[in-house]
Amino acid sequence: MYIRQETLFSFEEILKFQKETRLELIFSKLDLSKLSKKLGKSSYARGPKGYCVMNLIYALIAMQVERIPTMKDLVQKLNENPVLRYNCGFDILGSVPSESTFSRFMSGLSLSDELSSLFRKIVLQVFSQFARQAIQ
């Protein structure tokens, strides 16, 4: 019989003691509020609420940072890795979006001009930081 001992701390408290991950560092530097507002459903929209737009964006960024090749693999990693799920903003005990949810979200994302303007803004920030470091 397998008996697991109860922990003194919650999952979130344990993560606070851990060193910040690459994903957490990247997420803390990105301002995705404009993109989230553009892509999010209005509060008057009908139908199921679905997943938070920010969480879907974070998952797609995590896919690139962690070099996850396909949507299928991303969904599998999110299901298997509670730390990744938590860092992307999904409930650690809840469900994660399906491949089709990510696919529909990507279709909507590709129709938006906000993504290219966000990319330009990030590139300009990086160049200005490198320029400041080169001068020093």
Mean of pLDDT values over 102-117:
83
For the entire predicted model, the pTM comes to 0.74
Identify the weakest region by mean pLDDT among 2-16, 28-42, 50-64, 102-116.
2-16
Residue 41 has what pLDDT? Answer: 63
Chain mean pLDDT for the chain:
82
- pLDDT band for position 46 (50/70/90)? low
SS3 129: helix
CA–CA–CA angle 28, 131, 117 (5° rounding): 55
CA 120 to CA 39: how far, in whole Å? 18
Q: Using an 8 Å Cβ cutoff, are 54 and 90 in contact?
A: no
pLDDT exceeds 70 at position 135? yes
> Distance between CA 121 and CA 101 in Å, rounded?
27
Q: Which residue has the tokens 């404009």?
A: 34
Percent of the chain with pLDDT over 90: 32
Tell me, what's the pLDDT at 48? 59
- Rounded Cα distance between 10 and 6, Å, is 10
Q: Please give the average per-residue pLDDT across 47-63, as a whole number.
A: 85
The CA distance from 60 to 115, in Å, is 12
pLDDT above 70 covers what percent of the chain? 87
Instruction: Using the CB atoms, write b or e for 19-58: b if 16+ within 10 Å.
Output: eebebeeebeeeebeebbebbeeeeeeeeeeebebbbbbb
Name the pLDDT band for 63 (thresholds 50, 70, 90): very high
Of 38 and 56, which is predicted with more confidence? 56
User: Sorting pLDDT into bands at 50, 70 and 90, what band is 87?
Assistant: very high
